[in-house]
Chains A and B, each alone.
Chain A
């Protein structure tokens, strides 16, 4: 097989964002609104993780967090390309030319990186949630959503392993790493509940979307198993109000978007 070259880059059969744009399939408006949420979650978290590159505790961790960010950018591009197909907007139109109130990401994604433990706590919650979401979404009645999820689930499985390994090491490491991990979980967990809120949109989509509330039991089982191994507990903290799916965000998102969008907005119409 010619693909057996020692340094091959295997494109595989996975769906790429370019394929979605080229296919000319138009998402119906409700599916597009749903894809926008999934794309925004991945985009905002990727932007957060990109900050770590050159700032991680070791070079190896720069690479790991960079890899995860790149995977998430891939998911965002696919979901946003599909979301934009409903009204003729590109992934870049959606990423760079929407205001804070038009973003549909959950509040968890826009939480600050904090220290390494806080980034890992956020990764733990997001990767275990995303794994359950994409596992279920592979069976979506919408073939494009199913194909994007089938590709993403393998990558998110790796993200899950990465965060779990770090929770174990920080939780069972030194007194200081353990203290920071406990604090990080307390700061992160108020934003976890929002991920599992059902609303009219997902209910109306039926078999095309995954009901967020259905993901909570497997998520809890996975998280509890990791935390138990690390001799940690799910923190008992009150939930934050949320509202990301309605475009109501914390003050963090505006700063994040200003940085992410500045070049596109300085040079409208430029190509790169």
Chain B
């Protein structure tokens, strides 16, 4: 849609068996109330969901895909982050 159109919303659905809300897709709506209604039509028409969240896409801050390497670098070689150096005190039985 052009700039004058409706803003974009991201939709999260928690299914009837699901423990968490999962991103289901996006839609356009003039405001939050209409976004929830549109999400119900577009993403839960077959009874998939029991709970819906809509978030204006502009409110979501994403990580930078180009910085993926540094950003998500594994903790390998950072053993000091793990509690592996500690020795058990004497007399502590159930640790």
Tell me the A residues contacting B by CB distance below 8 Å.
4, 6-10, 58-60, 63-64, 67, 161-162, 165, 169
Residues of A within 8 A of B29 (CB): 60
Residues of A within 8 A of B30 (CB): 169
In the assembled complex, the Cα of A101 lies from the Cα of B34 at a distance in Å of: 40
Residues of A within 8 A of B16 (CB): 4, 6
Q: Smallest distance from the beta carbon of B32 to chain A beta carbons, Å?
A: 12
- 5 closest A-B pairs by CB: A60-B38, A63-B41, A10-B47, A9-B46, A6-B15
One digit per residue, 1 when the CB lies within 8 angstroms of any chain A CB and 0 when it does not, for chain B 3-37 equals: 00110000000011110000000011111011001
Indicate whether B62 reaches chain A with its CB closer than 8 angstroms.
no
A59 close to B37 (CB less than 8 A): no
In the assembled complex, the Cα of A165 lies from the Cα of B41 at a distance in Å of: 15
B42 close to A63 (CB less than 8 A): yes
B37 close to A6 (CB less than 8 A): no
User: Can you name 17 A-B pairs with beta carbons within 8 Å?
Assistant: A6-B15, A6-B17, A6-B18, A7-B46, A58-B1, A58-B5, A59-B28, A60-B28, A60-B34, A60-B42, A64-B38, A67-B45, A165-B33, A165-B37, A169-B30, A169-B31, A169-B34
In the assembled complex, the Cα of A37 lies from the Cα of B32 at a distance in Å of: 38
In the assembled complex, the Cα of A7 lies from the Cα of B16 at a distance in Å of: 10
The secondary structure that dominates the B interface is: loop
Most chain A CB neighbours (cut-off 10 Å) among B16, B31, B45: B16
Q: Smallest distance from the beta carbon of B66 to chain A beta carbons, Å?
A: 31
Most chain B CB neighbours (cut-off 10 Å) among A58, A63, A169: A58
Task: Given the known inter-chain contacts A6-B48, A8-B46, A9-B46, please indicate yes or no for A64 contacting B41, CB distance below 8 A.
Answer: yes
In the assembled complex, the Cα of A162 lies from the Cα of B18 at a distance in Å of: 28
Closest B residue to A61 by beta carbon equals B38
In the assembled complex, the Cα of A162 lies from the Cα of B16 at a distance in Å of: 25
Q: Smallest distance from the beta carbon of A65 to chain B beta carbons, Å?
A: 10
Q: Smallest distance from the beta carbon of A158 to chain B beta carbons, Å?
A: 9
B33 close to A63 (CB less than 8 A): no
Closest A residue to B49 by beta carbon equals A6
Q: Smallest distance from the beta carbon of A204 to chain B beta carbons, Å?
A: 41
One digit per residue, 1 when the CB lies within 8 angstroms of any chain A CB and 0 when it does not, for chain B 57-74 equals: 000000000000000000
A58 close to B17 (CB less than 8 A): no
Residues of B within 8 A of A60 (CB): 6, 27-29, 34, 38, 41-42
A58 close to B6 (CB less than 8 A): yes
Residues of A within 8 A of B41 (CB): 60, 63-64, 67
In the assembled complex, the Cα of A74 lies from the Cα of B15 at a distance in Å of: 27
In the assembled complex, the Cα of A86 lies from the Cα of B74 at a distance in Å of: 75
